[in-house]
Amino acid sequence: MSVFTLSQAEREKQLLPQLAELTAHHRENSEGYERILSSLGIARDASFASIADLPWLPVRMFKTHDLRSIPESEIFKTLTSSGTTGAGASRIYLDKAAAGAQTKQLGATLQEVLGGERLPMLMVDTIGIIKNRRSFSARGAGVLGMANFGRKHTYVLDENDQPDVEAVKTFLATYGDKPFLIFGFTFMVWQYLYEVARDHKLDLSNGILIHSGGWKKLIDRAVDNTEFRRRFKEDTGLTRIHNYYGMIEQIGTVFLEGPSGNSLYCPDFADVVIRNPETWEEQPVGEPGVIEVVSTLPHSYPGHVLLTEDLGVYNGIDDGDWPGKHFSVMGRLPKAEARGCSDTFQGAAA
């Protein structure tokens, strides 16, 4: 069943009461969140006319404050982000219900492009990334989380972070004539899958690529999203490509690129607000601003309305591949902390 069905008007109508209720829930159960909202002068009985009126937290708050809406005894899992500078890592607290909900909704979102069955899977990474649990990175968490959606996993890189061309050839000979899943962080997919497939004339035409992470290294190589998709199509036959945008502070919610490319879409349980960085008012279509991500999933911590450190722009509303707002991420805010993940990869050729 699709989770990309709600027009923007329907989304406002359905999500606004749920989000207002969540705001009240977190005020009641998180002393820190209550203090923040009170200091902002937001009354407990405040009403909100739209999703854009809801109070937001800067995503950085989770690096500096312990914010949770469950007692310590109910913490089932604590997730930490991949901060790369001195600001520390975000700490996200999940109880069993929250952990189950985020896994279920991530699966429902990806099912839109993967279908219902688990597909053979090429992981554009090294198995070493998930072996060392002690220094488990956000990249490792991403790889492990996505592994649940595939089977017969083959890693594109060997344990020395070198492309294992024979392993990829064997995988394609065995599974390449039917749909298969490919996952990796964007820069690594380009360097260790695209370039290898191009050089060895590998056929990826039955693949479905899910990728995410920073574009900075690729922009430096004059490869943007359009060029990325074009070159994969021309040189490897791969056309089903879906970038996604998400963060550990709103775990389970991902904004998925539509089949046409170049726009990210909100699943039915989420929304996005692009804000003017000076007035904080919502921007019109085509005007860049700061991305706010909104989701009904976070019940165990007050992460339902978060102001990110990323710049984005609405590309349109109810006029794309799927209903609702669709948008692009334009990069990090100036001086914003580098988020880590793929851009911290220090492979031999990086």
Q: How far apart are CA 262 and CA 129, in angstroms?
A: 29
pLDDT score, position 135: 44
Q: How far apart are CA 8 and CA 10, in angstroms?
A: 5
pLDDT score, position 336: 56
> In terms of CATH architecture, what is 115-244?
3-Layer(aba) Sandwich (3.40)
Closest by CA position to 79, among listed 247, 243, 201: 247
Name the pairing type of β-strands 119-126 and 325-332. Answer: unpaired
Q: How far apart are CA 168 and CA 155, in angstroms?
A: 8
pLDDT score, position 137: 58
Q: How far apart are CA 247 and CA 273, in angstroms?
A: 16
CATH class given for the domain over 8-94+247-253+262-330: alpha beta
Question: 118: helix, coil or strand?
Answer: coil
pLDDT score, position 1: 81
The beta strand positions in 186-263, using DSSP E, are 207-212, 240-245, 255-257
Q: Is the dihedral angle over the CA atoms 276, 285, 15, 96 positive or is it negative? A: negative
Query: CA dihedral in degrees (217, 221, 226, 230; nearest 10)?
Result: -120
pLDDT score, position 31: 92
Residues in CB range of 79: below 8 A, 6 or more apart: 90, 91, 92, 94, 141, 248, 251
At residue 350, what is the residue type?
Answer: A
pLDDT score, position 139: 64
Query: What is this structure's pTM?
Result: 0.86
Closest by CA position to 48, among listed 345, 312, 271: 271
Do 3 and 257 touch, CB atoms closer than 8 A? Answer: no
pLDDT score, position 94: 86
Phi/psi of residue 101, each to 5°?
-65, -40
The beta strand positions in 89-179, using DSSP E, are 91-94, 119-126, 150-157
Phi/psi of residue 336, each to 5°?
-70, 150
pLDDT score, position 196: 93
Residues of the chain with pLDDT under 50: 84-86, 133-136, 338-350
Q: How far apart are CA 57 and CA 283, in angstroms?
A: 18
Residues of the chain with CATH 3.40.50.12780: 8-94+247-253+262-330
Residues in CB range of 183: below 8 A, 6 or more apart: 121, 122, 123, 124, 143, 146, 147, 149, 150, 209, 210, 211
Q: How far apart are CA 234 and CA 252, in angstroms?
A: 33
Residue with tokens 């007050």: 302
**Radius of gyration, CA atoms only, the chain:** 20
